Structure 1
Amino acid sequence: MDKRIRKIARTGYVSKGVVYALTGILTLGAAIGLGSSSEGKLGILKFLEEQPFGKILLGLLGLGLLCYAFWRFFQSIKDPEDMGNSAKGIGKRIGFLISGLVYLGLGVYAFYEIFKETNQGTNGKVNMLPSESLPYLFYAIAAGIAIKAIFQFVQAFKGDFLSKFHLNTLSNRKTVKSIKWLGYAGLISRGIVEGIVAYFFFKAADTASQESIKGTSEAFSFLRQNSEGPWLVGLVAFGLICYGVYMFLMAKYRGFKD
């Protein structure tokens, strides 16, 4: 595989790791009372924008997210890892395509936040879709996210994600253990959050209301409603931090086919 493609992929993994690590850190801080919450991917972009040199940070992250989107599209179309055209292979490649679209949107949104006019705004809400089509759209999105959540659990259970690292070539056993346990914790936590988001979309389909759309931040709010909420939120947030660090390890140690 071309070295430039590998660099783009590794840059993308780092950016994805930043998003998940910051999501976990800010959520964990809010859960233990050390700060306000900026949960969710869009919340992280807002958080970075508010920091010193926020526009620069946002631009760097946006560029990295676009790199990750490009890598996902490359995996889907060019199939550099020979997943093939079997049902399983096509399913994975479609998943890569959807993931690429999600992170393309995040990357574009990051640059939109940089260049948008600060005085613009509107109090009105625009209904982009006819109401009769909303249930079908929401059911489709819910099904896709639910499948993705299940896939996270299956990956963790089978340990399939470990094959990307060629662990037998790594001499440092601490690094091998870190990859394993960070991967397990991160995938399970990510699956929990995505499962809750899928539930929200199924619920939104029943009411056919855009007001019912909820994402990662609402998933954490849902966890808090339980009597053990702060502990649940803390554990899941810690897991997302683990997933972020796992992405950093992916950027450094992931193997690619020549």
Structure 2
Amino acid sequence: MNTSATARTAGMDARRFAKGSARDGAARAGLTARGVIYLLVGVLALQIAFGENNQQADRGGALAELAEKPFGAVLLWALGIGLVGMALWRLSEALFGAVGPDGRKAKKRLTSAARFVFYAFVAYSVLSFAAGSGGGGSSDKQSKDVTARAMELPAGQWLVGAAGVGVAVAGVWIGARAVLRKYHDKLKLGEMSPRTRRLVDITGVGGGAARGAVFAAAGAFAVRAAVDYQPDKAKGLDDTLRSFADTPLGPWLLVCVAAGLVLFGLFSFAMARWRRV
């Protein structure tokens, strides 16, 4: 077979995936899997706020919680496969462009590429946990270990500080976009009733604001670790969430943030149903 013809055929198959039902299914499976994780993390954080649970309020804790349910192993594999779908969807956006008038711009493609890397890592950790390889370790230990290794590099202190600023800015950006309801641009609003749209807005605004607050706080802790040159001051998701209970507002701020993460889980389910992909 002609090599150029084979390459053209492969390219056409890839584009069909990027634009067809395979991409649609991968995106919706991924958004559903993301919703499950955020929902479980939010519930665990609520239990911690009320002193009912000492389990990690992060991805590892969510996976451990899921594993204890009936058919837990099957659910873990389904979750991992869904996250693989999310990674493939983001990869297709990086290669062929996303929906919308700006979907083919370099900035959008780079963002999609970064999301592909992130979700590929998350999918790997979930599938490793499902296979019994311990992929659901503590986010706090992982954060401290990565920070310590980064600080050993030339200009490592500056790198950690810059990364922390980037995460904090991303958190503010996520929260602001949620409050401004920028996600409307990605939803099939015409398929929603007015009541459904109001409910989606409650989950989108509340969930996005809480998610942004968690990112901003985690970034601030990374900056503090860099400034003080103390990797132990970097915090993963679990420690970041618990830190909200140490504010003057006490556990009630953690309750609000945890409830927001539950809302973001529900919002992810709504995105899986109505997002334009």
Aligned to 2:102: 83
207-216 vs 66-75, which deviates more? 207-216
TM-score, normalised by the number of residues in structure 1: 0.85
2:258 pairs with 1:243? no
Structure-1 separation of matches of 2:173 and 2:106: 15
Structure-2 separation of matches of 1:170 and 1:84: 22
2:110 pairs with 1:94? yes
Task: For 2:77, give the aligned amino acid.
Answer: G
Aligned to 1:135: 157
Structure-2 separation of matches of 1:170 and 1:72: 24
The equivalences for 1:31-180 within 5 A come to: 31-81=49-99, 82-83=101-102, 89-116=105-132, 128=149, 131-133=152-154, 134-167=156-189, 169-180=190-201
Displacement of 1:66 in angstroms is: 1.4
Q: Secondary structure at the match of 2:260?
A: helix
Change (3 A) 1:218 1:72: same
Q: Which has the higher contact order (CA 8 A, sep 6+)?
A: 1
Contact 2:179/2:208 (<8 A) preserved: no
Superimposed CA distance per residue, residues 95-154 of structure 1 (whole angstroms, 9 cap, x where no aligned partner): 332222222111111122233468xxxxxx897557134323312321331232122123
The equivalences for 1:174-189 within 5 A come to: 174-189=195-210
Aligned to 2:275: 254
Change (3 A) 1:66 1:132: same
Displacement of 1:57 in angstroms is: 2.1
TM-score, normalised by the number of residues in structure 2: 0.80
Structure showing greater radius of gyration is 2
Displacement of 1:90 in angstroms is: 3.6
Change (3 A) 1:72 1:223: same
Displacement of 1:200 in angstroms is: 1.2
Structure-2 separation of matches of 1:96 and 1:117: 28
Structure 2 unpaired stretches of 5+: 1-18, 135-144
Structure-2 separation of matches of 1:191 and 1:230: 19
Structure 1 unpaired stretches of 5+: 119-124
Structure-2 separation of matches of 1:137 and 1:45: 31
Displacement of 1:52 in angstroms is: 4.2
Aligned to 1:121: none
Change (3 A) 1:83 1:58: same
Contact 1:28/1:234 (<8 A) preserved: yes
Structure-2 separation of matches of 1:245 and 1:113: 24
7-16 vs 170-179, which deviates more? 170-179
Structure-1 separation of matches of 2:133 and 2:62: 20
Change (3 A) 1:171 1:215: closer
Displacement of 1:171 in angstroms is: 4.9
Structure-1 separation of matches of 2:114 and 2:251: 32
92-101 vs 245-254, which deviates more? 92-101
Task: For 1:105, give the aligned amino acid.
Answer: F
Superimposed CA distance per residue, residues 145-187 of structure 1 (whole angstroms, 9 cap, x where no aligned partner): 12321221231233211121131x1252211111112101011
Change (3 A) 1:60 1:129: same
Contact 2:86/2:119 (<8 A) preserved: yes
Structure-2 separation of matches of 1:182 and 1:117: 34
Displacement of 1:35 in angstroms is: 2.9
